[in-house]
Amino acid sequence: MTVIIISVSVLILIQGVSHSLLMLRSADQSSLAAHLARQKLAELELKNFEIGSETSGTFTENREFSWAVEIRDPAIPEAKDFAISEVFLKIHWLDGNEKRTMEVITYTAKIQKLQE
């Protein structure tokens, strides 16, 4: 009887450790995806994309992660001195056999020529 209790306890312990390791890996990948999203958004700020443009690619240092970006019209009233655009970024990766996606939306404003 004691052997059965110990065997069941060890089995439950092994399952718990295995589940914890999977959750740790998933959290690590989500954290890396968030870091890559911040990196890509900083990169995009330096480029001049038109509303309606789309582009995609993979990260050179993290090939298992890919990205896609779409520049949209935010459908909000614009100030007369600013051009506002919505940047919609998706980060994709595989977590085991499951495809995961992180979506980030931010807004950019460019100062237009000031009228004198």
Token couple for 99 = 């495809």
Q: In what order do the strands lie in the sheet with 54-58?
A: 54-58, 66-72, 82-95, 98-111
Residues 6+ apart with CB under 8 A from 82: 109, 110, 111, 112
Long-range contacts of range 43-48, CB-CB < 8 Å, 24 or more positions apart? Answer: 44/69, 44/87, 44/89, 45/108
* Local confidence band at 84 (pLDDT 50, 70, 90 cut-offs): confident
* Average model confidence (pLDDT) across the chain: 82
Res. 113 pLDDT band, cuts 50 70 90: low
- Band (114; pLDDT cuts 50, 70, 90): low
pLDDT at 90: 96
Cα three-residue angle 5-9-11, rounded to 5 degrees: 120
Instruction: Please name the helix (run of DSSP H) or strand (run of DSSP E) that holds residue 88, with its range, or none.
Output: strand 82-95
- DSSP annotation of 56 reads E
**What is the pLDDT at residue 115?**
53
